[in-house]
Amino acid sequence: MRTHCATLALALAFVMPCLSGAAPAEGAAATPPSGCLPGGNGYLRARIRGAFNLDIHWQDAELQCEGSVRPDGSGIRVSFAGPLRSDGRRLRMVFGVERAVEGAAANALPADLTVIFEGEKRLFSTRGANGCTVDKLEQERIGALGGTQRPYRVIARGFCIEPVNTLNAEERIVVSSFDFAGQVTFSDGPPAMQPPRQPPATAPSAAAP
């Protein structure tokens, strides 16, 4: 639950200006650059039913994507933002995949999902890391080898077994399937913060004879 809360908090911080309808700062680009991967081979596909019925099939040029290691090092977080409409609305999906490590393929990984309808003040989120499953995950190194910043093309497919609810639980959607190819950058940062170690208890010294 702590990992899920951290992922949701970061997602909220990232998109809150869009949810609140805040205008971009003066001088900022009105339309952010699109394109997901350097090779043009990013994509996001998802089937959404419930409060919204959507069949998403976005190719690289329609997407913005980014990803990194979770702050506690427990896996990766991958974000996809779809086409920006003229009225400022846009759909963003943020996947948190537990136990994913740099360069390694894996199967059956627990995941959480946050779905944000930017410009509509709607945010849906799973409750905990077992709401979704990544059936298969693969990673392909992109860019020059070496260095402290190491980007990978991450390919995954999966499904959600639990509804994805709004924070007040008044609306829900079901993401019955998803697959994507996005980017995650691993870096040589400081180690994950650990709680301070408590000094061992000291037994009272025996009284001198």
Q: Structure tokens of 151?
A: 């980007």
- Give the residue among 127, 144, 148, 137 at the shortest CA–CA distance from 101: 137
The 10s digit of each residue's pLDDT in 65-98 is 999 999 888 899 999 999 999 999 999 999 999 9
Q: How confident is residue 20, by pLDDT bands cut at 50, 70 and 90?
A: very low
Query: Vertex 160, ends 158 and 163: CA angle to 5°?
Result: 165
Domain boundaries, given as residue ranges, for the chain? 2-15+34-187
Q: How confident is residue 147, by pLDDT bands cut at 50, 70 and 90?
A: confident
Coil/strand/helix, residue 130 = coil
What length does the chain have? 209
Q: How many Cβ atoms sit within 10 Å of the Cβ of residue 87?
A: 8
- Give the residue among 120, 56, 107 at the shortest CA–CA distance from 83: 56
Contacts of 47 by beta carbon, 8 Å cutoff, 6+ apart:
54, 55, 56, 175, 176, 177, 178
Query: Which DSSP letter does residue 188 get?
Result: -
The 10s digit of each residue's pLDDT in 100-128 is 999 999 999 999 999 999 999 899 999 77
Concatenate the DSSP letters of all residues of 88-124 into one string.
S-EEEEEEEEET--TT--EEEEEEEEEEEEETTTEEE
